[in-house]
Structure 1
Amino acid sequence: MATYALGLDFGSDSVRSLLVDTQSGQEIATHVVNYPRWEKGMYCQPARSQFRQHPLDYLESTVEVIQSLWPKAPSDAASNIIGLSIDTTGSTPIAIDETGQALALKPEFAENPNAMFILWKDHTGIGEAAELTKAAKDSATNYIQYEGGIYSSEWYWAKALHAMRQDAEVAKNVYMWVEHCDWLPAILTGTQKPSDLRLGRCAAGHKMMWHESWGGFPPNDFFTSVDPVLNGLVERLPLETFPSDQSVGGLTNEWADKLGLPAGIPIGFGAFDCHMGAVAAAVKPGVLTKVMGTSTCDITVASAEQIGDKCVPGICGQVDGSVLPGMVGLEAGQSAFGDLYAWYKRLVNGPANQIIQNNAFLSDEQKNALLAEVDEQTLIHLSEKAALLSPGQSGVVAVDWVNGRRTPDADQSLSCAIAGMKMGTDAAAIFRALVEASAYGAKAIIDRFKQEKIEINSVVAIGGISKKSDLVMQICADIWNCPIEVLESDQSCALGAAIFAAKIGGAFPDIASAQAVMASKVCKTYQPIQTNAELYRQLYEEYLSLGAYVEENK
C-alpha cells in the first residue's frame, strides 16, 4: 500500500502544497493558492518598506491548498498520508496574547497592521536593528556572533521592537512574538498556548539570538537595555529548540476535519523555506543551494569539526541542526533578486499600463487582457534583446540593493544605483546590467564564504527563476565561474518539507534515507563560458567600486 508525505511551502505571495509518494519519491499532486488579502496589497505600504500579512491569509489558504489536492490525487491518498511539515518565509513573526491567540484574529486588532505577521521583506525596523547590533557588540557576550555579527531589520527582535514602539495597544496586549514557521505547526497541533509552545531550531538560531553556548536566548536585561518595552518577552520563550526531523505533535481533530486528513498524523517542526529547499537539493559540504525567487536564500552546511569556533561574519547565521541534523547550517542571501526584475518591469510598463487603464474605448475585459499581455511579454522581450549584448558592451553597471543588502554585511538602508547610461542606452541594456548586478551580489556572498574557508565548489539552484530564464542562469554561471545545477522539481521547498514529513511519519529512519528516495533530480546544468567569465572578473571590480560609492554616500 502506498503512503504519502505532505509538504506545505508558504512563500511571499502564495502557499504551495505537494503530495509525494514515500516509496517511489514521485510527486503525485501539487496546488498553489495566492493569499487573497496580500494579492490586493492590503496592509502594505511599499514606500515605507512596510509589508504585513494577515493570519487569515495563511489559515484560509492552508485549507484551500490542501483540499484542492484531493481531486488530483489517488482516491485513497488522504487516508494514507503519514506526516505533514511546513516551511515559511522568515523572519515573519506575529504578536500573540497569553492564550496563544494571534492579536490580528481578535476583533479589536483585525485591521491593525502592527498586529499582523511582519513579512521578511518589511524593513521598518532599520533603526531598531542598529540598536540591537550596538547592544550586542557592547555586551560582555556578543549575542549576534553566530548571526553574522550584524542584526538585521528583517529579523524577529527588530520587528517586534519596532511594532511595539509604534503601537502602544499592541505593546500592551502582546504576550509573545512567534515566527510563522512555529505558529502554524502549533495551530495544527493545538499547542499554540505559550505554556505548550515549542520552537523549531531554524528560526530561533538564525533570527532570534538563540544559541546553546549561552543557554538559549540572551537574558532579559540585555533586551531591556535596548528598550524597556521588551521587558519579559524573552522570559516567556521556551529555552529548548528542535530540528525539523522531529514532530511537534499530532494533527487535531478540528484541523483534520478542515483539511480532509487523518487525525493524529505527526506535524513536523517548521523551518524557513530555503533550509527545507536545500534538503530537497541534497545539500552537502562544498555545495551552495541557492533559492532564487523574489529574494534569494543561500544555504550550505559544514561539519562541526570544519567550523570549529569560527563565526562567519556578515551572513544570516550558522546554526547546528537548522538544515540537516548533525550539521551546521549556514545561511546568506539577497534582499531582492526577482523583486529587482519585477521593479524594473513595473517601471518600464508604468506609462503603457496607465494609458491602457485610461482608454475609454476599451472594455474592462479588454483592458485586463492587454495589461496581462504587456506584463507577460515585457521580461521576455527584454531578455531576448539583452541576450544579444556581450559582457560590458553597453557600459552600464548597476548595484542590486533595491531593497537594501541582506548579505554580506546586512545594511537595509542601502539603495540601488545604475551608472554608465548614455543617450544610446536602451531598456534592454539596463535590464542586462540589473541581471549582472544580481549575479555580482551573489558572487560577493560566495566570496565571503570562501574567504572564511567555507568550501563552495558548485551551486544548485531552485526556485522559479532557475527554471524560467536561461539568460539569468548563464550570466550567473559566468560571473560565479562555476557550474550551476537546476533541480527538476518545481516545488523544491515543499519537497524538502515533504522529506521531513516522511521521516517523522516513520517511512524512513533518518533524513539521509528519505533524501535518497525523494530528493529532486537535476534537470539542467549551466557551465561557465570562460571568455565571459574572464570579462566578468574584470567588470566585477566596477560593481564593487559603484557599491563602495553608494555606501559612502547613503
Structure 2
Amino acid sequence: MAERMLFAGMDVGTSGCKMLVYDLEGSVVYQSSRRYQEEGTGGYRELNPDIVIRNVKEVLKDVGRNCPEGITSMAVTSLGESVVCLDADGKVLINSMLTGDCRGIPETEEIINTLGADRIFETTGLPPNELYGLPKYMWLNRNTDVIKKSAAILYYEDFVGYVLTGERKVSYSSAARSMAFDITKFQWSEEFLKLAGIRAEQMSEPVPPCTVVGTILPEMAEELGLNKDLKIVAGGHDQTCAALGSGLMGPKDGECGMGTCEFMFMMLPKVMMTPYMMKNDFTCIPYVFPDKYLSSLEVTTCGALKNWAKDSIFQDISRKCQEDGTNFFQYMDEKARGIKTDVMVLPQFGSAGNPDLSMDARGTVTGLTIHTKPEELYRGILEGMAFQMYLAYERLQVLGTEMSSIAATGGGAASDLTLQIRADIFGMEVYSLESSEAGTLGCMIMAATAMNAYSSMEEGIKKAVKIKKKFVPNPEMAEYYRKKFENYKRFYEAMHDFQ
C-alpha cells in the first residue's frame, strides 16, 4: 500500500505556538503545542522572539520524534503587525511590539498628516490606525537604533521560514498588516516604509499564497528530526488562514472567528477602498485566491467580556460551578436557552470594533430591573455581541457584500446557544466545523496545493473542511430579534461614544 502524504500547519500566536499534521482528508495525524507569555508593563505589550522560536523548535522536534511517516510540506500562519529585527549575524535585536501596545499613537496622526488618510487607505486597504505596523515601526526608529542595525525585518511567519530555510519570503496577507504594503501592486511602498527609516530590502520578498519558500536546511532537518526534503510554503496572517480553513471561497461565504476578540470575514465584490469604508473602519484585504479581496468586521471584546462577566458579576455562580465540576459557560448556556429578555448590552468594555474603531470605549447595560435574573444578563451579553457584529454587517452591505451562511470557528463556536443566536439575528445558516483549528487547516491546504497534492485550494476545501453542526434561523426568534435590533441601533447611537 502506498504511503500516505502528510502536510502540516504551524500557528505562531501571541500566547503560544502549535503545529498540526494532517492527511489529505483533513484528519489530524499528530499535533503538538507550547505556551509562552507576553512581556511588558505600563501599556507596553511585547513578545521575545528568542523565546518564541525556541518553543517553535520544541514543537517541531516533538513532531519529528512522534510523526515518523514524515511531512511533505508545511506552511506557517502567525499574528500580524509584530516584527522581528535581526542583525547581520541573525541575532534578535529587540522584543516585538504586539498589536495592543500603546506605542505609535502620536505617530499615527503624523502619518495621516504626511500622507493623507485617503491615500493610506487607497494604497494599503487599511484605515489608518495605531493597531497596524507602520506607526510602531516609526516609534522604534525614533526611540532606538534597531531599525538602523537591522539586516532583516520579518513577521513571525517569515521569521520561522527564514530560520528553517535561510530564505526570506512573506505572504501578501502578512505583509498587508504593516500599513506599508501596496495591495494592488503587491509590493512594499518604499515611500511609506521610509517614514520609519526602513529600506525595502530589509523586508522579506512578498509572495503569493502557495509559493514554496524553500527546502529545510540540512542542519535544521537534522536538529529537529524532520524530513530532509521538507518544503516550507508561504502561509499568511492568522485570520486570513482561518478563513481559508473554514471553507471561505464563494462570494456569499462568511467566516467568523470567535476568540478573545471576534473577526468576521466576507468577500468583497471587487477591490475597493472608498471614503465610506474608511469612515466605518472597513478593511480591504488581499485573500489567498487570486484577485479576491476580503473585508473584515471586528468586535474587540467578546471572549474577554464573557470571562470578565464570569469572574466579576457572575463570580458566585462561577465558584459554585467550579465546586461542582461544571463548566460555567455550558451551565449558563443551558439556563439562558429559550428565554427572552429586555436586557441589552453594548459590548465595548474598554475598546470597540466596527463600525467605530476605538481603543478607549465604554460599555453599557440597559433594561435591568430588580427582577432581572443572571441568565437574562448573560443572554443579553451574547445578544449584544451578535447585534454589534450585525450592525457592522448591515453597514458593510452598502458595498454590495452579502452573505448567505457563516462558518464559526474558535472557542466561542463551541457554544450552541451562541451560534443559534447568530443564526436568528443574521437570518442565515450558521455552522460549526469538525476542525477546531481553522488556521492550521488553512495552512495545510496551501502546503498541499503547493505540492500539487490538491489540484487547487478549492479542491482542498472540498476534501478537508467538514461541517460539524448546522444552525438554522428560528422564524419566531428571527422576528423577535428584528424588532429588538431596531432598539439596539438607537441604543448604540445614543451611547457608543458616551464618556
What TM-score range do you get, normalising by the shorter chain? 0.7 to 0.9
Aligned counterparts of 2:483 and 2:164: Cα–Cα separation in 1: 53
Alpha-carbon offset, residue 237 of structure 1 = 4.5
> In structure 2, do the counterparts of structure 1 residues 457 and 177 end up closer, same or farther at CA, with 3 Å as the change threshold?
same
Alpha-carbon offset, residue 342 of structure 1 = 1.7
> In structure 2, do the counterparts of structure 1 residues 237 and 169 end up closer, same or farther at CA, with 3 Å as the change threshold?
closer
1:390-409 map, 5 Å: 390=340, 393=341, 395-409=342-356
Alpha-carbon offset, residue 551 of structure 1 = 4.3
Identity among equivalent positions (%) equals 20
> In structure 2, do the counterparts of structure 1 residues 83 and 215 end up closer, same or farther at CA, with 3 Å as the change threshold?
closer
Matched to 1:297, the amino acid is F
Is 2:448 the counterpart of 1:502?
yes
Q: Contact between 1:96 and 1:175, CA under 8 Å: does it hold in 2?
A: yes
1:288 aligns with 254
Is 2:84 the counterpart of 1:88?
no
> In structure 2, do the counterparts of structure 1 residues 295 and 542 end up closer, same or farther at CA, with 3 Å as the change threshold?
same
1:179 aligns with 155
Alpha-carbon offset, residue 142 of structure 1 = 0.4
Is 2:425 the counterpart of 1:479?
yes
Matched to 1:3, the amino acid is M
Aligned counterparts of 1:51 and 1:247: Cα–Cα separation in 2: 32
Residue ranges of structure 1 left out of the alignment (5+ in a row): 104-114, 192-196, 225-229, 357-369
1:344-363 map, 5 Å: 344-348=309-313
2:386 aligns with 439
Alpha-carbon offset, residue 203 of structure 1 = 1.9
- Between 142-151 and 433-442, the greater mean CA deviation after superposition: 142-151
Alpha-carbon offset, residue 286 of structure 1 = 0.7
Aligned counterparts of 1:290 and 1:98: Cα–Cα separation in 2: 41
Q: Contact between 1:201 and 1:242, CA under 8 Å: does it hold in 2?
A: yes
Alpha-carbon offset, residue 175 of structure 1 = 5.9
Q: Contact between 1:323 and 1:329, CA under 8 Å: does it hold in 2?
A: no
Q: CA RMSD in A?
A: 3.1
Alpha-carbon offset, residue 414 of structure 1 = 2.1
Residue 43 of structure 1 aligns to a residue in which SS? coil
1:160 aligns with 137
Residue 383 of structure 2 aligns to a residue in which SS? helix
1:77 aligns with 69
1:522 aligns with 467
1:112 aligns with none
1:230-309 map, 5 Å: 230=196, 232-238=197-203, 241-283=206-248, 284-302=250-268, 306-307=269-270, 309=272
Alpha-carbon offset, residue 534 of structure 1 = 2.0
Q: Contact between 2:80 and 2:174, CA under 8 Å: does it hold in 1?
A: yes
1:27-42 map, 5 Å: 27-35=28-36, 38=37
1:37-436 map, 5 Å: 38=37, 43-45=39-41, 49-69=43-63, 73=67, 76-78=68-70, 81-103=71-93, 115-137=94-116, 142-145=119-122, 150-164=127-141, 167-168=143-144, 170=146, 173=149, 177-191=153-167, 197-211=168-182, 216-220=187-191, 224=195, 230=196, 232-238=197-203, 241-283=206-248, 284-302=250-268, 306-307=269-270, 309=272, 311=274, 312-313=277-278, 314-315=280-281, 317-320=283-286, 322-348=287-313, 377-390=327-340, 393=341, 395-436=342-383
Matched to 1:317, the amino acid is T
Matched to 2:486, the amino acid is E
Matched to 1:521, the amino acid is K
1:7 aligns with 9
Q: Contact between 1:483 and 1:528, CA under 8 Å: does it hold in 2?
A: yes
> In structure 2, do the counterparts of structure 1 residues 133 and 148 end up closer, same or farther at CA, with 3 Å as the change threshold?
farther
Residue 361 of structure 2 aligns to a residue in which SS? coil
Alpha-carbon offset, residue 267 of structure 1 = 0.8
Aligned counterparts of 2:237 and 2:192: Cα–Cα separation in 1: 29
Alpha-carbon offset, residue 27 of structure 1 = 2.3
1:540 aligns with 485
- Between 492-501 and 253-262, the greater mean CA deviation after superposition: 253-262
Q: Contact between 1:206 and 1:317, CA under 8 Å: does it hold in 2?
A: no
Give the paired residue count.
493
Matched to 2:73, the amino acid is G
Aligned counterparts of 2:350 and 2:213: Cα–Cα separation in 1: 35
Residue ranges of structure 2 left out of the alignment (5+ in a row): none
Alpha-carbon offset, residue 19 of structure 1 = 1.0
- Between 116-125 and 442-451, the greater mean CA deviation after superposition: 116-125
